[in-house]
Amino acid sequence: MANQTRGCINSTLGIDEACLVLKDLTNYPAIFHAIAREAYMGLGFPLANLEPGTNTSLIISTKRPLHIYYQTIEDGQYRDNCHTAYNFKEHGLYRWNLSDGGICHEIETLRQPVQSYLPIFAVFMLLVILAILRSATSVVIRVIRGKLSPDNVQDDLDRLQENESVTHTVIVTTKSSMRIKSVDAFRGIALLLMIFVNNGGGQYVFFNHSAWFGLTVADLVLPWFAWVMGLSITISKRAELRVTTSRLMIITRCIRRFVLLILLGLMVNSIHSKTLHDLRIPGVLQLLAVAYFVCTILETIFMKPHTQDTLLQFGRFAMFRDIVDSWPQWLIMTCIVTTHTLITFLLPVPNCPSGFFSPGGKYQYYGKYENCTAGAAGYIDRMLFGEHMYPVTNDPVYGPIARHDPEGLMNTISAIFIVYLGVHAGKILIQYYQCNSRVIRWLLWAVLTGIVAGILCKFSASEGVIPISKKMMTLSYVLACSSLAFLLYTILYVLIDYKQVWSGAPFIYAGSNPIFIYVGHVLTKGLFPWAWHYAHSCHAVELIINLWTTVLWGLIGYVLYRSDVIITI
């Protein structure tokens, strides 16, 4: 939260740091407290001990708006003074005068902060310019090709040769050409965004995961990746069933892929483990493996290889055939979601309230629920995994909190529902042939899931019956991310597959080899030439490094794509 430093006025400030000068005008010793405004529930971090008549300067975080106050110690009694919230800015110099008698002074700005968002604006403008130049170049090339067409510049012999070549044209199919571009583009967006945020996202708060509640750009990448994996399940399993692949063979391949994903996940986790005793068992690949396994088994058992006559099979419900045709899967999904919700609200957790969604910790609720982190989900993970999960962390926003794992058992159950919503998006794609039919249904699902998510969380970050939390993968979080996934895929489908005004590049390249690129970026994270260290870092430097890492993996994906190399497991 902050570092007490004498004379930070002339010191070098780092990323998301400001200097705050506290001028103690009280007649008593005082303690300065601060905590992220979103995390304040009774207590703040004690950051500085102040003596009457002294000035104390300290480096303070600017990542989030802070709730600040000070306590005076009068005759052995602690008295709170001047609770207020303030949004400090990077590299700014501020002063706050502390007084007795309930007098609260305004926070003064002694030195203006820097424009920390200027680098991201510059990158955005550069990308816009490049996109415009690329579009203009395409138009020019088309015009030139039109002027140099065979009708204008070739003689009769050339025409004859061209006609012969057209007559005997051989259509060459590759692994890449057989793939649906909008699906690969969606997957590539999620993957490259994941690489960017995992490497730091330029150290911008909105490119990092939310502290506990709320939704940032970084919080979208994993559910989007899971969602599009579900869409791919529908396409691949329908194709396999249509070529008379036995269901037993499909299940056998599913089990094989499930085991390989689990092993890859444990291998990735072992990078940060010294012994098997502290090897983390849950992980991103493990979560995806379980969700993939459950949804694939369901589709393999219940999916029909061919769409039967719509009117005869569904009658008046023909327009809902994508739902009616999958009623067994939806029934099972309803049971899974209901069970998850009932466990969340009804499972008795020692010394904790039911339906607890907060991080708990030392500074929330006056420390009353210090060991209740993540409620029932955290309790189950601690009982199930023990030492084989994330350790106790000193969260920079909430302080020390108990063990929990964002890819634990309850979160994995939530991921199953995310994947199945993607499965259903794939069913809309293969069961309806007109663009309007597909687009309308995807948009309706986007609206429906978005409204339900909003109702559950009261259209806020931390309120409602079920608040939005990536750490716990709450139902409102799952629905909100799925809503945005339906919307994004609809846009990509129209632009890439239907209107064909965009090829999906450069995202389709990375999206063709997602597992290889994901594992590769984890294994090479922080290593040269993918990244390097800088003595005096800032947002601009971090942004350049993180963008270079992302671009480099995009280039690797491009080489594989052009070489027609598709690495699957």
Residue closest to 378 by CA, chosen among 482, 291, 267, 469: 469
Gap between the Cα atoms of 518 and 117, Å rounded = 28
Q: In this structure, what is the dihedral angle of CA atoms 378, 379, 384, 385, given to the nearest 10 degrees?
A: 50
Assign 47 to helix, strand or coil: strand
Helices then strands, counting H and E runs in the chain, come out as: 17, 11
> In this structure, are strands 30-36 and 108-111 parallel, antiparallel, or unpaired?
unpaired
Residue closest to 24 by CA, chosen among 108, 100, 111: 100
pLDDT tens per residue, the chain (569 residues)? 554 444 577 778 889 999 999 998 888 889 999 999 888 888 888 999 888 888 888 999 999 999 999 988 887 788 888 899 999 999 999 999 998 877 889 999 999 999 888 888 898 898 889 888 887 887 788 788 765 544 443 444 344 344 444 444 444 456 566 688 999 999 999 999 999 999 989 899 889 999 899 999 999 999 999 999 999 999 998 888 887 678 899 999 999 999 999 999 999 998 888 788 889 999 999 999 999 999 999 999 998 776 554 444 555 666 778 888 889 999 999 999 999 999 999 999 998 999 999 998 777 787 788 889 999 999 999 999 988 888 777 788 888 888 889 999 999 999 999 999 999 999 999 988 899 999 999 999 999 999 999 999 999 988 899 999 999 999 999 999 999 999 999 999 999 999 998 888 899 999 999 999 999 999 999 888 988 888 778 888 999 999 999 999 999 999 999 998 888 88
CA distances 313 to 298, 309, 328, 410, 426, Å, are: 21, 6, 16, 37, 20
| Per-residue pLDDT at 66 | 93
Gap between the Cα atoms of 98 and 158, Å rounded = 89
> Which positions are annotated as active-site residues?
209
| Per-residue pLDDT at 397 | 85
Would you say the pTM of this structure is higher than 0.85? yes
Task: Evaluate the CA torsion angle 108, 110, 112, 113 in order and state its sign.
Answer: negative
Gap between the Cα atoms of 488 and 266, Å rounded = 32
What are 81's two structure tokens? 């003074």
φ, ψ for residue 414, nearest 5 deg: -60, -40
Q: How many CB atoms lie within 10 A of CB 452?
A: 16
What are 386's two structure tokens? 């023990």
Gap between the Cα atoms of 192 and 547, Å rounded = 10
| Per-residue pLDDT at 241 | 83
Identify the burial level of 274 via C-beta atoms within 10 angstroms of its C-beta, where 0-12 means exposed, 13-18 middle and 19 or more buried.
exposed
Residue closest to 508 by CA, chosen among 542, 558, 461: 558
